[in-house]
């Protein structure tokens, strides 16, 4: 069987596969989301960050590296208190 690379998949479809943890599609969706992150609209970037913050440790660590640059008031409820304290944030602060 040939390994087919899927191009130009709608980002909402990829995000849905990642969030719903569809069997056999999570790893591919994660790679696609992380690869395309910088070129996406801010609203989609927030959804991707929130999805990664609710996921596994390695996914959360990827999101943590971006949080200081992409901070938004919606994000604190998804961040552990430890991260907020270490970076001088409270639930009501934004950049």
**Residue at 29 is within a domain:** yes
Domain extent, residue 52, equals 11-70
Residue 20 lies in a domain: yes
- pTM recorded for the entire structure: 0.71
So what's the pLDDT on residue 14?
93
Considering the domain boundaries, does residue 75 fall inside one? no
Structural domains in the chain (count): 1
The answer to whether residue 28 is domain-embedded is yes
CB-facing half-sphere around the CA of 76: CA atoms within 13 A: 14
What does the pLDDT look like over 2-60, one tens digit per residue?
666 666 789 999 999 999 987 888 999 999 999 999 999 988 998 998 899 888 889 98
37-43 long-range CB contacts below 8 Å, 24 or more apart? 37/66, 40/11, 42/70
Question: Is residue 22, in this structure, part of any structural domain at all?
Answer: yes
Q: Is residue 83 part of a domain?
A: no
Is 89 inside a domain boundary? no
At 77-88, the pLDDT tens digits run 666 555 555 555
């Amino acid at each position: 069987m040939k390994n087919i690379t899927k191009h130009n998949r709608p980002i909402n479809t990829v995000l849905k596969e990642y969030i719903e943890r569809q069997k056999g599609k999570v790893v591919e969706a994660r790679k696609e989301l992380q690869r395309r992150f910088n070129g996406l609209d801010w609203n989609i970037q927030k959804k991707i960050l929130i999805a990664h913050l609710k996921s596994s440790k390695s996914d959360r660590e990827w999101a943590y590296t971006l949080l200081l640059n992409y901070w938004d008031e919606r994000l604190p409820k998804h961040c552990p208190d430890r991260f907020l304290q270490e970076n001088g944030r409270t639930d009501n602060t934004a950049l």
